[in-house]
Amino acid sequence: MSNDYIISWKVAGIALGLLLILATALVKPLGVSTQFVVTDAIVTHQVAPGFAESNEYLAKYGEKTDWSVGYGWMLVFGMLVGGGITAMLFRQKQPEQDKGSMPKMWRDQFGNSTFKRNSAAFFGGMLLLFGARLAGGCTSGHMISGISQLALSSFIFGVVTFGAAIMMAKFLYRDRAL
Amino acid sequence: MDTLIIGFLIGCAFGAILYLGGATSYRRILGTLLLKDMWIIKLMATAIGVGSLGIYLLDLGNLAHMSIKPAYVWGVAAGGAIFGIGWAISGYCPGTCVVGASEGKRDAMFTLLGALCGAFVFSLVFPTLEAVLMQNANFGAITLESMLGVSGIYLAIPFSAALLFLAFFVLKDQYE
């Protein structure tokens, strides 16, 4: 199992915990999902400014002249840059089964269709952000940052999210022993 | 240093950790959700264990810039359920789809696009949902600290210890 990972969950987990402490000391904890709305607001204000103004939710996250690109948006932009650079540097160390756009597990269960995989990825993405905005956060903001701060809402989110995700995963792979 | 630059640098490190730690890996995510490969849950429990202790130590010196989300029970629970289903279907969460897209995974790019659309759809129905699910049963931004009336550090120490014990000694991969 020597090339089953690049860094172990222990190293990644400790590093992520330390990064969360640093972020909380300097500015505020980690969070991602709000920035999808900020991005939507930026685009909508360009394409259909009248609609953006009349949409109560989008209007909260940016104006035509002020895009509200702040700490949070730069953080997500940084993930894109940092993730991309790291991926380039460590590509040859990445486990074979984690490379590419068609996971082996998915292919074994649902077949070779790229259209099917990408449709599921798109639809899943819609549910992710709809749910995250309703709940007020996602894996980073609610689970990692929120539970670390012992927030009641984040404990509720964590329990319900894992419960629903485990049931859905068991349903998708119901006829398969891993 | 400028807050924007700090945000960018923290994001770079966040992206790098998620990539290197295998958090963008479909087999790891689904493995955890099928309760077979505990990698992701062990990673998260370790991060929360370290983070919780550190944040409440910072808080002792009033150095923690906390951000507590309000507990509107129905909205958080409904949102969590929808989020969980999307997580299992796509194999990504909002952060890992960004990193997955950055490493060139096309399915992650589709999740990213879907996520932008999902946020837009939410903005269309926000007024209705807010009235029904987000304003009722809202207990505000409360933590176990304020609920139990105990200084947070006394909760964070045993909580962190329990999570780290769970990650390092209890959770084991289950292969058949």
Query: pLDDT of A83-118, one tens digit each?
Result: 999 999 999 999 999 999 999 999 999 999 999 999
pLDDT band at A60 (very low <50, low <70, confident <90, very high): confident
Smallest Cβ distance to A39: which of B80, B116, B141? Answer: B116
Residue B49, phi-psi category: left (phi > 0), alpha (psi -120 to 50), beta (remainder): alpha
Query: Is it the case that residue A138 has pLDDT exceeding 90?
Result: yes
Smallest Cβ distance to B99: which of A83, A103, A158? Answer: A83
Cβ under 8 Å to A: B residues 23-52 = 23-28, 30-31, 33-37, 39-40, 42-52
Residue A39: its chain B contacts at CB < 8 A?
116, 119
Residue B120: its chain A contacts at CB < 8 A?
40, 44
Give the distance from residue B46's alpha carbon to the nearest chain A alpha carbon, in angstroms: 5
Backbone φ, ψ for residue B91 (5° rounding): 80, 10
Distances (CA, A) of A39 to A68, A108, B32, B80: 9, 35, 30, 22
Give the distance from residue B158's alpha carbon to the nearest chain A alpha carbon, in angstroms: 12
Query: Is it the case that residue A62 has pLDDT exceeding 90?
Result: no
pLDDT in tens, chain B (176 residues): 699 999 999 999 999 999 999 999 999 999 999 999 999 999 999 999 999 999 999 999 999 999 999 999 999 999 999 999 999 999 999 999 999 999 999 999 999 999 999 999 999 999 999 999 988 899 999 999 999 999 999 999 999 999 999 999 999 988 65
Euclidean distance between CA atoms A149 and A67, whole angstroms: 29
Percent of chain A with pLDDT over 90: 87
**Residue spans per domain, chain A:** 102-178
How many C-beta atoms lie closer than 10 Å to residue A131's C-beta?
29
Cβ contact, residue pair A153, B72, below 8 Å: yes
Contact B101, A80 (CB under 8 A): yes
Residue corresponding to tokens 């991005």: A39
For the question of an ipTM over 0.90, the answer is yes
Distances (CA, A) of B81 to A90, A164, A165, B75: 35, 5, 8, 10
Residue B152: its chain A contacts at CB < 8 A?
150
Give the distance from residue B166's alpha carbon to the nearest chain A alpha carbon, in angstroms: 12
Residue A121: its chain B contacts at CB < 8 A?
89-92, 107-108, 110-111, 114
Euclidean distance between CA atoms A66 and A124, whole angstroms: 31
Contact B118, A125 (CB under 8 A): yes
SS (H, E, C) B126-137: HHHHHHHHHCCC
Euclidean distance between CA atoms A53 and A41, whole angstroms: 9
Tens digit of each residue's pLDDT (9 = 90 or more) over B120-153? 999 999 999 999 998 889 999 999 999 999 999 9
Query: Is it the case that residue A67 has pLDDT exceeding 90?
Result: no
Cβ contact, residue pair B55, A57, below 8 Å: no
Euclidean distance between CA atoms A125 and B16, whole angstroms: 21
Cβ contact, residue pair A153, B115, below 8 Å: no
Mutate to test the interface with A, among B89, B117, B164, B169 (most CBs of A within 10 A): B89
Backbone φ, ψ for residue B158 (5° rounding): -65, -35
Residue B6: its chain A contacts at CB < 8 A?
26-27, 71
Instruction: Choose among A147, A72, A56, A178: nearest CA to B173.
Output: A178
Please tell me what DSSP assigns to residue A101.
S
Give residue B149's identity as a one-letter amino acid code: G
Query: Is it the case that residue A177 has pLDDT exceeding 80?
Result: no
Residue A177: its chain B contacts at CB < 8 A?
176
Q: What pTM value is reported for the model?
A: 0.95
Among chain A residues, CA nearest to B97: A125
Mutate to test the interface with A, among B32, B65, B120, B143 (most CBs of A within 10 A): B120
